[in-house]
């Protein structure tokens, strides 16, 4: 089939051109054009429908993709392969050497109002450490405030380029007082990828919360109390090292929803811890007979076998290392040691019978919470700290490897309410913006749900 050119582009040019190509090719071409047109329409429609910030992110994502090959080569974030494959050695004669092949990591982008999320397929020798090293350069090249790097799944990294810092956007929550559908997760807020962050509470017997004064620890606990208090399947006890009476301090307004309270008095706290340890032992003894399982979480908490949440605020007060030889100091030292032992037992052996101990401290030293307790807490959260050493005291030594996540870099007031925690199922840490929950809301919810308060020991006896 040949195309006979006409001297001028007459009226029959187009039909002649069409006839010159086989019909399937023409249909294929038309389909391709249609798909491209539909895609163009979709992209334009999505762009127009987005809010102003997301539109800026979409433009940003376009330029990130467009300039990626150049930028990755400039930063050395590519794999240079100098060795010819077997096929190439056959084709290339012995004299000439093959040009090295440059493998640019493939990227895909997603946008939101805060910036762009870039998924990167790693190439040999270019992985997490290399991208972390260049995080600041990438942020400069992309005009972002920050780029954080994390492992998404094996072979893939996720880079979060934020133009507007999601952690800086303060949020306030007004809990409505309804019982949560799922007691095994705690909605913490939004992480730095602007994705809802949840904390798994099922099978978690201990949680550490650290941070400087005024950085959001109480607000976090307010959030937890207001979320869980409307459920009859949760009972709360508090040991508060800041006050001597339940009517004082942060927990005064929720006192009606607590089945037990102890103040800073070590003896009083000791009595509470002993009472809870006894409950734990009784539950452990009865669980198989009563529930038919060996782990309460296999069935989930119920009003008859509730999750027992013990909040130990200013926890270092109860475990202080008293030194001195006078009888009073010796007595206090013995109490503090026993307290540490009791709380350790609750955390170490409290998972299956349904206990959760939350230890809060603003003391930035390693001895604030005895290591025997710290080591058995599977979850740790840290608000801003003064130094990396203080961050290590809460989050463990691993935080030294993740400099951009170090809570000691969060001194700016914008970071009040931002907590760092280990990423679940992934390496490294993540920062979460927790919402502010005003004490008035918690007080109202505690009052309205006061009738749900029961001593779990009485339930067990019944």
Ligand X SMILES: Nc1ncnc2c1ncn2[C@@H]1O[C@H](COP(=O)(O)OP(=O)(O)OP(=O)(O)O)[C@@H](O)[C@H]1O
Binding positions for ATP = 211-218
CB of 266 to ligand X, least distance (A): 20
Q: How far apart are CA 172 and CA 430, in angstroms?
A: 21
Q: Which is nearer to ligand X, 109 or 218 (CB)?
A: 218
**Which CB atom, from 147 or from 209, has the smaller least distance to ligand X?**
209
Tell me the CA distances in angstroms from 208 to 312, 358, 368, 378, one per residue in order: 10, 6, 11, 9
Query: At its nearest, how many Å lie between ligand X and the CB of residue 286?
Result: 37
Cα angle at 222 between 216 and 224, to 5 degrees?
A: 110
Q: Which residues contact 372 (CB under 8 A, 6 or more apart)?
A: 340, 344
Minimum CB separation of residue 236 from ligand X in Å reads 17
CB of 419 to ligand X, least distance (A): 9
Shortest distance in whole angstroms from residue 231 CB to ligand X: 23
Which tokens belong to 61?
């994502």
Annotation: binding site: 211-218
Residues 6+ apart with CB under 8 A from 174: 438, 441
Closest approach of ligand X to the CB of residue 211, in Å: 5
Q: What are phi and psi of 362, to 5 degrees?
A: -105, 0
362 vs 408, beta carbon nearer ligand X: 362
Q: Are residues 64 and 116 in contact, defined by beta-carbon separation less than 8 angstroms?
A: yes
- Of the pair 364, 417, the CB lying nearest ligand X is at 417
Phi, psi of 194 (to 5 degrees): 60, 35
Q: Strand order of the sheet with strand 156-162?
A: 107-112, 115-121, 156-162, 146-153
Picking from 227, 216, 280, 279, the residue whose alpha carbon sits closest to that of residue 254 is 227
HSE-up of residue 352 (Cα within 13 Å, Cβ side): 16
Q: Which residues bind ligand X (CB under 6 A)?
A: 170, 211, 213-219, 362, 416-417, 434-436
- The Cα–Cα gap between 247 and 319 comes to 23
Q: Which residue, 123 or 226, is less far from ligand X as judged by CB? A: 226
CA distance 140 to 134: 10
Q: With respect to ligand X, which residue has the nearer C-beta, 72 or 362?
A: 362
Cβ 280 to ligand X, closest distance in Å?
A: 28
Query: Of 226 and 434, which has the nearer Cβ to ligand X?
Result: 434
CA distance 212 to 191: 20
Residue number closest to ligand X, CB atom = 417
Min. distance of Cβ 427 from ligand X in angstroms?
26
Q: Which of 365, 242, 406 is nearest to 312 (CA)?
A: 242
Smallest CA-to-CA distance from 334 within 239, 277, 240, 266 is with: 266
Q: 80 - beta bridge partners?
A: 102
Token pair of 448, please?
């309205």
Task: Give 212 or 352: the residue with its C-beta nearer to ligand X.
Answer: 212
């Amino acid at each position: 089939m040949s195309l006979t050119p006409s001297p001028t582009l007459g009226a029959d040019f187009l039909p002649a051109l069409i006839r010159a190509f086989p019909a399937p090719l023409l249909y294929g071409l038309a389909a391709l054009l249609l798909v491209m047109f539909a895609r163009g329409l979709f992209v334009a429609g999505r762009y127009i429908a987005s809010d102003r910030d997301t539109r800026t992110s979409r433009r940003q994502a376009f330029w990130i993709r467009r300039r990626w090959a150049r930028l990755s080569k400039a930063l050395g974030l590519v794999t240079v392969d100098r060795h010819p494959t077997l096929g190439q050695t056959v084709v290339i004669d012995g004299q000439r050497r093959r040009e090295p092949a440059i493998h640019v990591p493939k990227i895909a982008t997603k946008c939101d109002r805060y910036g762009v999320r870039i998924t990167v397929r790693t190439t040999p020798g270019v992985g997490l450490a290399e991208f972390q090293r260049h995080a600041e350069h990438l942020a400069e090249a992309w005009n972002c405030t920050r780029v954080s790097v994390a492992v998404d799944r094996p072979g893939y990294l996720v880079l979060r380029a934020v133009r507007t810092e999601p952690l800086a956007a303060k949020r306030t929550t007004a809990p409505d007082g309804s019982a949560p559908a799922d007691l095994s997760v705690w909605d913490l807020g939004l992480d730095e990828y602007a994705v809802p962050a949840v904390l798994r509470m099922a099978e978690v017997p201990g949680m550490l919360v650290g941070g400087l004064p005024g950085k959001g620890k109480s607000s976090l606990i307010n959030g937890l109390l207001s979320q869980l208090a409307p459920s009859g399947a949760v009972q709360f006890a508090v040991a508060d090292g800041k006050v001597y009476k339940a009517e004082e301090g942060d927990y005064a307004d929720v006192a009606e929803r607590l089945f037990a309270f102890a103040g800073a008095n070590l003896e009083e706290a000791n009595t509470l811890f002993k009472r809870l340890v006894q409950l734990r032992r009784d539950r452990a003894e009865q669980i198989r007979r009563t529930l038919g399982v060996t782990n309460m979480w296999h069935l989930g908490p119920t009003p008859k076998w509730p999750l027992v949440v013990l909040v130990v605020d200013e926890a270092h007060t109860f475990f202080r290392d008293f030194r001195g030889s006078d009888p009073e100091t010796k007595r206090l030292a013995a109490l503090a040691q026993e307290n540490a032992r009791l709380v350790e037992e609750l955390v170490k052996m409290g998972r299956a019978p349904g206990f959760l101990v939350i230890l809060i401290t603003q003391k930035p030293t390693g001895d604030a919470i005895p290591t025997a307790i710290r080591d058995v807490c599977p979850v740790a959260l840290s608000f801003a700290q003064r130094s990396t050493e203080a961050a290590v005291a809460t989050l463990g030594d691993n935080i030294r490897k993740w400099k951009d996540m170090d809570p000691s870099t969060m001194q700016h007031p914008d970071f009040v309410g931002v907590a760092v925690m280990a990423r679940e199922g992934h390496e490294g840490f993540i920062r979460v913006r927790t919402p502010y929950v005003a004490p008035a809301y918690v007080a109202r919810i505690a009052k309205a749900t006061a009738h749900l308060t029961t001593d779990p020991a009485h339930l067990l006896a019944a």
